[in-house]
Amino acid sequence: MAKRTVGRRRADTKPNRGRRLEIPRGHGHGHGHGHGSEVIDTSVVDSDAVVARRVRIVVAGVLIPLIAAAVIAMIVLWPGGDLKIAAAEQTGASGTVVSLKACPETPADCDEATVKLRSAPGSDKGLEVPVEVPKGKNAAVEIKAGDRIILGVQKGAAIADRYQYVDHDRSIPLIWLAVIFAIAVIALSRWRGVAALGALGITALTLTQFILPAILKGSNPLLVAVVGGSVIMVIALYLTHGINAQSSVALAGTIASLGLTAFLGWGFVKLSAFSGLASDGASAVKAYVPGLDLTGLLVAGIVIGSLGVLDDVTVTQASAVWELSAANPAASRASLIGAGLRIGRAHVASVVNTLVLAYAGAALPILMVFAIGGVSTGYLLSTEIVAVEVVRGLVGSLGIIAAVPLTTALAAMAVADRSRDLVGVPESVAGAGESAVSG
């Protein structure tokens, strides 16, 4: 009786499907169940002809049109010209406190500091100028000789009255923190960490050069946030994780979840009748830009705030399904989805809690004010300043929850039930299969 090929599907009859892909293996040092475990390189999943064809369909049918639309929309919405508003324009300076002496009129409440200017407009740099600084109960942070401070500048005033104390200069500790962060990222992730830092820089540029200016120019804030967020995710995912099938699936899940987050945010902001004025700085911005859509700005903030967490969830889910498929190339779509969702549930439970706590932490001072007043929970939740944070947290969490099944399903459709003759299997398994056929 003639032998028949085990596991071959109808699609395998195509000429380019006849080659056999070997799974790279190594002797890992991890402790698994048994001493004969082998390390499987999941890059073989990307090399599978079945996966390549399926992902090309997703990329051609979904991602390329979406990316093209986002790029075209960014070009159309790109802000041009100067965005500065004369009434809001400020000039800053910084310096170091050389000496302090009590103010003659109110010695208990202020000091007269002599400040050497490190940066200042015009030719003032290097001068020592008098600046009144708060003292005692009026000072949030005590000011001492040697402290670095930032100053406001009143143009045209005499040198004795030109500079006013604004705050402590915190640039040095921030620089140190950024350096430690960069070293930690690179030490753990090496070249991928360098790519992640590059993606972070591109994110900052997109926020400062496109999203903020476009909103100030009068473009729809929600549209700008979705377009900018999509472009950020395309660059961040492909730069950090490479242009491959797994990244493409994660990107598709991210963009779909981002769209759902934007829709839910818009709907619940409208249903909740938010004015947008409860957000920090909203009233000041509205005063300078009267035509600004504050409710749209609120939804844009929800969308942008959820981007990083969505990226985390979708990449994790795609990676998990890829790993499962590499371990069992014949796994069905249903089994991959089931296993992926079990992984996703644990991830979502912790991420959702983190997101809600982050928003609660931002609103903590306001919550304390209400706690002192002894107001009821229902009254507290109905106030805009608290309800906004509730909507932020829950809408962002719904986007995360949706990202898990969406990305898991997309990944499972791409890698499920791959033909065994396209993937090398352990020799013990292959030998057992050949013996069974011969018998």
Give 4-38 as a DSSP string. --TT--GGGGSGGG---BPPPEE------SSTT--
Could you tell me the two tokens for 418?
């791959």
pLDDT digits (tens, 9 = 90+) for 124-140: 888 888 988 888 887 77
pLDDT digits (tens, 9 = 90+) for 21-69: 344 444 433 333 444 444 455 666 666 666 767 777 777 777 888 889 9
The answer to whether 65 touches 80, Cβ cutoff 8 Å, is no
Q: What are phi and psi of 366, to 5 degrees?
A: -65, -40
Q: Which residue has the higher pLDDT, 378 or 175?
A: 175
Q: Is 115 helix (H, G, I), strand (E, B) or coil?
A: strand
Distance CA 250, CA 206 (A): 21
CA distances from 369 to 325, 365, 366, 372 (A): 53, 6, 5, 5
Owner of token pair 């969702």? 341
Distance CA 93, CA 338 (A): 59
The C-alpha R_g of the chain, in whole angstroms, comes to: 29
Could you tell me the two tokens for 27?
């002797």
pLDDT tier for residue 435 given thresholds of 50, 70 and 90: very low
Distance CA 139, CA 149 (A): 13
pLDDT at 418: 66
The single-letter DSSP state of residue 220 is -
Distance CA 318, CA 231 (A): 20
pLDDT at 140: 78
3-state helix, strand, coil in the chain (%, to 5): 60, 10, 25
pLDDT at 62: 79
The answer to whether 431 touches 62, Cβ cutoff 8 Å, is no
The answer to whether 117 touches 124, Cβ cutoff 8 Å, is yes
pLDDT digits (tens, 9 = 90+) for 275-292: 877 777 777 787 778 888
Sign of CA dihedral 95, 96, 98, 100: positive
Q: Which residue has the higher pLDDT, 87 or 235?
A: 235
Long-range contacts of 430-434 (CB under 8 A, 24+ apart): 433/6
Q: Which residue has the higher pLDDT, 28 or 248?
A: 248
The single-letter DSSP state of residue 188 is H
* Mean residue pLDDT across the chain: 78
pLDDT at 36: 41
Going by C-beta distance under 8 Å and a sequence separation of 6 or more, which residues neighbour residue 115? 95, 96, 97, 98, 128, 129, 130, 131, 149, 151, 163
The answer to whether 58 touches 252, Cβ cutoff 8 Å, is yes
The single-letter DSSP state of residue 375 is -
Q: Which residue has the higher pLDDT, 96 or 25?
A: 96
Of 420, 422, 361, 417, the C-alpha closest to 392 is 361
pLDDT digits (tens, 9 = 90+) for 191-200: 888 998 998 9
pLDDT at 87: 57
Q: What are phi and psi of 152, to 5 degrees?
A: -90, 155
Distance CA 168, CA 306 (A): 31
Could you tell me the two tokens for 425?
């299997």
Q: What amino acid occupies position 356?
A: V
Looking at the predicted structure, is the pLDDT value of residue 182 above 90?
A: yes
